[in-house]
Amino acid sequence: MLIVGAFLAGLFLILRELIPLLQARGSGVVYTKGHTRKRVERDVEPERFQALCRSRFKAMGLGAIVIAAALGWLVVNTVLVVLDSALPPPPGV
């Protein structure tokens, strides 16, 4: 159950940054994070726009790490279950 939660958390962390990034790429307008959101247009400030889009892309890395860890954990648990079922039962059982 914890593995499913980790997958969902990683997906949430990725989508939280991916959706605004895709909107910014399509519309040419990105908003800064924080209390006072400021509008940054691609045509007016291209360097700042690229920097903000790059930071949103990098922020998706944590979600990818969480999903990779959950996937690794799932593989290890699956291998352990298969190995456990392949062992003969202990003597006297």
pLDDT tens digits along 29-46: 999 988 899 999 999 999
Residue 75 lies in a domain: yes
Residue 77 lies in a domain: yes
Q: Provide the domain count of the chain.
A: 1
Alpha-carbon distance of 6 to 65, in angstroms, equals 10
Hey, what are 82's tokens? 């298969």
For residue 69, what are the domain limits? Answer: 2-86
Mean pLDDT, residues 15-22 taken together:
94
Q: Do 42 and 29 contact (CB within 8 A), yes or no? A: yes
Q: Using pLDDT thresholds of 50, 70 and 90, give the confidence band for residue 86.
A: confident
Is residue 51 scored above 70 in pLDDT?
Answer: yes
Residue 12 lies in a domain: yes
Residue 91 lies in a domain: no
Alpha-carbon distance of 55 to 39, in angstroms, equals 15
